[in-house]
């Protein structure tokens, strides 16, 4: 076959990284590039589209394509399910349900989850262990108005995350990362000292505009989230 879009992409990327195409400079248009590579315009288009998607170049109709002044640096971050995360570490996974109760939503949670005054929630506290050692503390609230089945479901054996992803896959979510100090309770569960700095993830999940669940995931001391780009 003739030249592939991967080769075109690689060649353009090479020209950019080796300085033949300076940041900020304009590139030839698709028609000319196709002619110079001796391929169809669609091939060049796909190469350029992917480069634009990667944040390397910037494309605008009529204005043409140029090398970005400062390439956008972005990474893709996988949001794992804790059981899988631990399995990928090569460790054995154990789950425990610590607390499980349906109750009216406290005020702070009503604000976070955009709930009404009389909405009830399922409050679950769970622990996830890797090779027997505490790995993650899960403090989860499920909106019983949106998911009444949660009240009767038995979370003794499998975590709410597993149940949720199989019951309501394809949700929208907002995630945030931050650091917290271990309070007495977290220190007890995670086997660290009170006041220790812990990495915490918060996640709110929606389905078609309705809040499904809010969860705080607190990791054992020293946990890192790592990415490449």
Partner DNA sequence: TCCCCTGAAAGATATAGACATAAGGTGGAA
Partner DNA sequence: TTCCACCTTATGTCTATATCTTTCAGGGGA
Interaction site with a copy of itself (CB under 8 A)? 16-17, 23, 56, 70-79, 81, 165-166, 169-170, 172-181, 195-200, 222-229
Cα separation values, 15 from 12, 67, 68, Å: 5, 11, 13
Tell me if residue 160 falls in helix, strand or coil.
helix
d(CA 41, CA 35): 8
CA angle, 31 then 34 then 35, to 5°: 85
**The token pair that represents 201 in the structure block:** 């993830």
Please classify residue 22 by burial: count the beta carbons closer than 10 Å to its beta carbon, then call 0-12 exposed, 13-18 middle and 19+ buried: exposed
Give CA–CA dist 173/116, Å, rounded: 20
Instruction: Choose among DNA, a copy of itself, none what residue 228 binds, the Cβ cut-off being 5 to 8 Å by kind.
Output: a copy of itself
| Distance (Å, whole) CA 49 – CA 162 | 36
Among 16, 51, 65, 214, which residue interacts with DNA (rule: CB under 7 A)? 65
Quick one: which of 24, 64, 148, 195 contacts DNA (CB under 7 A)?
A: 64
Q: Containing H/E element for 185?
A: helix 184-190
Q: How far is the CB of 101 from a copy of itself (least distance, A)?
A: 27
30 belongs to the binding site for DNA (CB under 7 A)? yes
Cα–Cα dist 46/54, whole Å: 12
Count how many Cα atoms sit within 13 Å of the Cα of residue 206 in the half-sphere of its side chain. 11
The interface partner of residue 40, options being DNA, a copy of itself, none and the CB cut-off 5 to 8 Å by kind, is: DNA
DSSP state of 55: T
Q: Which is closer to DNA, CB of 47 or CB of 147?
A: 47
State the binding partner of 38 from a copy of itself, DNA, none, CB within 5 to 8 A by kind.
DNA
Taking CB within 5 to 8 Å according to partner kind, which of a copy of itself, DNA, none is near residue 104? none
CB under 5 to 8 A by kind: which of a copy of itself, DNA, none does 31 bind?
DNA
Binding segment (CB under 7 A) for DNA, from list 1-9, 125-133, 175-183, 215-223: 1-9
Closest approach of DNA to the CB of residue 47, in Å? 8
- Cβ 132 to a copy of itself, closest distance in Å? 23
Does 72 bind DNA (CB under 7 A)? Our answer is: no
Question: CB 192: neighbour CB atoms within 10 A?
Answer: 17
Is 6 a residue that touches DNA (CB under 7 A)?
yes
Among 45, 158, 171, 216, binds DNA (CB under 7 A): 45
Binding site for DNA (CB under 7 A): 1-7, 27, 29-31, 38-43, 45-46, 48-49, 52, 59-65
């Amino acid at each position: 076959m003739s030249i592939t879009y991967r080769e075109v992409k690689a060649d353009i990327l090479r020209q950019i990284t080796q300085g033949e195409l300076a940041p900020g400079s304009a590139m030839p248009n698709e028609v000319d590039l196709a002619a110079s590579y001796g391929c169809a315009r669609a091939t060049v288009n796909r190469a350029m589209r992917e480069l634009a998607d990667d944040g390397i170049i910037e494309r605008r109709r009529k204005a043409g394509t140029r090398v970005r002044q400062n390439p956008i640096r972005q990474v893709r971050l996988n949001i794992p399910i804790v059981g899988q995360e631990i399995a990928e570490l090569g460790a054995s996974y154990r789950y425990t349900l610590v607390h499980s109760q349906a109750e009216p939503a406290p005020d702070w949670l009503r604000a976070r989850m955009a709930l009404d005054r009389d909405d009830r929630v399922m409050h679950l506290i769970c622990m996830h262990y890797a090779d027997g050692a505490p790995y993650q503390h899960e403090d989860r609230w499920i909106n019983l108005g949106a998911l009444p089945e949660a009240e009767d479901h038995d979370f003794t054996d499998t975590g709410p995350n597993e149940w949720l992803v199989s019951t309501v896959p394809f949700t929208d979510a907002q995630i945030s990362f931050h650091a917290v100090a271990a309070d007495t309770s977290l220190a007890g569960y995670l086997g660290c000292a009170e006041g220790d700095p812990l990495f915490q993830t918060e996640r709110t999940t929606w389905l078609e505009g309705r809040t499904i669940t809010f969860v705080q995931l607190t990791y054992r001391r020293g946990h890192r989230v790592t990415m490449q780009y």
